[in-house]
Amino acid sequence: MKDWANQISQSIDPRVIPEIEIGEINGKSVIIIRIKEFPIKPVSIKGRYLRRVGNSNHVMTMQEIAQMHFHSVGMSWDKLPARDATIKDVDFEKVKRYIKKANETGRKRVLESENPLQVLEKLELIKEGKPTWAAILLFGKDTNRSLSQATIHCGRFKEETIVIDDRMVKGAIPEQVEEAMDFIRKNINVKFVMTGKPAREEIWDYPLEALREAIINAVCHRDDAIPSNTEVRIYDDELIVWNPGGLPFGVTIEDLYKPHPSVLRNKGVGGIFYDMGLIEQWGSGIDKMRKACVNANLPEPRFEEYQGFRVIFRKDIYTGEYLSGLGLNERQIKAVMYVKKRGDINLSSFKTLAPEFSDKTLYRDLQDLVVKGVLKELGEKKGRRYKLE
Give per-residue pLDDT as tens, 67-87.
676 665 566 788 888 988 999
The DSSP bridge partners found for residue 193 are 201
Which listed CATH number (3.40.50.10860, 3.40.50.40, 1.10.10.10, 1.10.3720.10) goes with 320-388? 1.10.10.10
The pLDDT of residue 72 = 59
Give domain limits for the chain: 2-72, 77-146, 152-314, 320-388
Q: Is the pLDDT of residue 342 over 80?
A: yes
Closest CA to 316 of 151, 163, 188: 188
- CB of 308 closer than 8 Å to CB of 245: yes
- Structure confidence by residue, pLDDT tens digits, 273-292: 999 999 876 667 888 999 99
pLDDT at 71: 64
Q: Looking at residue 311, what is its pLDDT?
A: 94
pTM over 0.75: no
Identify the pLDDT of residue 69: 64
Show Cβ contacts of residue 85 under 8 Å, excluding neighbours closer than 6 positions. 130, 131, 136, 140, 146
Summarised one tens digit per residue, pLDDT across range 155-166 is 999 888 899 999
Sequence-distant (6+) residues with CB within 8 A of 99 are 110, 112, 114, 116, 119
Percent of the chain with pLDDT over 70: 95
Which residues contact residue 127 at a Cβ distance below 8 angstroms, ignoring those fewer than 6 apart?
79, 81
Residue in 70, 81, 75 with CA at minimum distance from that of residue 133: 81
The DSSP-derived string for 116-127 is HHHHHHHTTSEE
Assess contact for 136 and 149: CB atoms under 8 A.
no
**For the chain, how many residues are written?**
389
Map residue 340 onto helix, strand or coil. helix
Q: pLDDT band for 146, please (50, 70, 90 cuts).
A: confident
CATH 3.30.70.2340 applies to domain 152-314: no
What local confidence, expressed as pLDDT, does residue 61 receive?
Answer: 76
Task: With beta carbons less than 8 A apart as the criterion, state whether 259 and 282 touch.
Answer: no
Summarize the confidence of residues 234-261 as an average pLDDT.
83
pLDDT at 328: 94
Q: Are 351 and 370 in contact (CB under 8 A)?
A: no
Choose among 290, 292, 274, 104: nearest CA to 174: 274
Note the pLDDT of residue 33.
87
Tens digit of each residue's pLDDT (9 = 90 or more) over 35-66: 887 777 788 888 888 877 777 888 877 777 77
Supply the mean pLDDT for the chain. 87
Question: What distance in Å separates the CA atoms of residue 317 and residue 190, rounded to the nearest whole number?
Answer: 16
